[in-house]
Structure 1
């Protein structure tokens, strides 16, 4: 997949659960003011989709595109269900993956509602140092729910 190419656009039905073999993708929603609100960065070894759309075959609310040129592995809903049914270890793998994802999303939601901008940025540096090096500052700001100027201020603080 080329840089800036879409893996999924809002309004389409998500046909694939996507594994990032190489590269970097983001999922996002455009808010009512036309601003991109990033919900996830997915680099090597991560899965990405609009999971509600994938499971329920409803129109996606998220858009997914490549920040970097990427190699992806994709599995259709039918093959995903077959994999879970026929390979028990994969059902366990995905269950653990979803449990960890839910915990991460809960922590992020709590942080977004209670942490200062400095703490949000510090946590990102600690938990996703590779992403911070690979992603432009305005995208990091969008992911953290901050203005790009706030990220600049935090980075330039003595």
Structure 2
């Protein structure tokens, strides 16, 4: 079975942008409006010579006027439970939010390797703020800019060792 990596986080932290960056092409729709990704989007890619499936999820905690939040949550739960490795994304520009704590609380009890990824670190002020994400209890926050590619190769090198053999 091919190893699976799930990308999770609250709405609009850059999950789809990171998926597109890792896939090296546009797979997921990216928009400034929260809630664009509702279903799981998955793609098989090669990362450092390893074939993996990457799963982009809808934003955790999204509220939806069409009453789809329960279905979105089910899709997120399915992605998390099927994943071998989880990348939790947070947004450096918005800083630590209560919903980030909710997502981390959902992930901490799992017996899965989880990497905390601080996205939107394009400027020094964002890099200076990443220490606050330590409070999520998911280990060392890793700064990247999925939109610009900064830190993504280093992130890959960091998590590739945690991908189980498929």
What TM-score do the two structures reach when normalised by structure 1?
0.26
Greater helix proportion: 1
Flag the structure with larger Rg.
Answer: 1
